[in-house]
Amino acid sequence: MTRPRRPGPAPAGADSTGSTQEGPRPTGPDGSSGERGGGAPQPPSTRSAERPRDALGRPLPRGAAGVAPLSLPSPLPPGAALAAAQHLLDTGHPFQAHEALEAAWKAAAEDERGLWRGLTQLAVGITHLARGNLRGGVAVLGRASDNLAPYAENPPHDVDVTGLRGWIADRVAAIEGAHPQPPCVTAASAASAASADRPADADAWPRTAAGGRPPRLVR
């Protein structure tokens, strides 16, 4: 009687399913893994062993000097989360701002989840504009505005919902006026751009695509 063969060890880097993927794809326009997918971004803790990333969250070659992973107490109180996200936006790190806001979104009470989702999408949209993905950025900024809208009359935590929606409208109008058919950056082209010989923080605040100043989160 022949005994069935026992499976050998999984390849190096494989997970429990045998997959050898190196980790999640860059965050997509709606906060997903991939440029066009759905769902919320993966939390920073799931990316600790990944390749280094630049200021816009794009993976760099292994061994490159990337931006340090975001390290904040979790969950932050709402006011502290907003302050951290504002600082990250002001210093040209919208990808990390979305991570801070996403952590607050996951910890938020049910009646505030739409607000934090909209704020997270705002930062993701800005990230895509900075990457040159104008089509994706415009799409996710529109969803951010829609999610923020129900909180305009009585915004929690003094979030400037009206001002943020105005900022989004101005940016979208400017982009659509300058680019009747906004370009879309795919995951492959974004990775190629991130792998170029450039400083990790070369994409400081994008004054052309995303506007002349970062949005102000709080009134």
Per-residue pLDDT tens digits for 177-199 = 988 787 776 545 545 555 444 43
- How far is it, in rounded angstroms, from Cα 119 to Cα 201? 23
Residue range 140-191, pLDDT digits in tens: 999 999 999 999 999 999 999 999 999 999 999 999 998 878 777 654 554 5
| Residues 200 and 54 sit within 8 Å (Cβ to Cβ) | yes
Q: What is the DSSP string of 66-120?
A: -BPPP---SSPPHHHHHHHHHHHHHTT-HHHHHHHHHHHHHHS-GGGHHHHHHHH
Q: Report DSSP state, residue 138.
A: H
Cis peptide before 183 (omega within 30 of 0): no
- How far is it, in rounded angstroms, from Cα 158 to Cα 119? 13
* First-last CA distance in the chain: 77
Rounded to a whole number of angstroms, the CA Rg of the chain reads 19
Domains of the chain: 74-192 (1.10.3450)
Residue range 79-138, pLDDT digits in tens: 999 999 999 999 999 999 999 999 999 999 999 999 999 999 999 999 999 999 999 999
| Residues 33 and 25 sit within 8 Å (Cβ to Cβ) | yes
Three-class secondary structure of residue 53 per DSSP = strand
Return the percentage of the chain with pLDDT > 90, whole number.
52
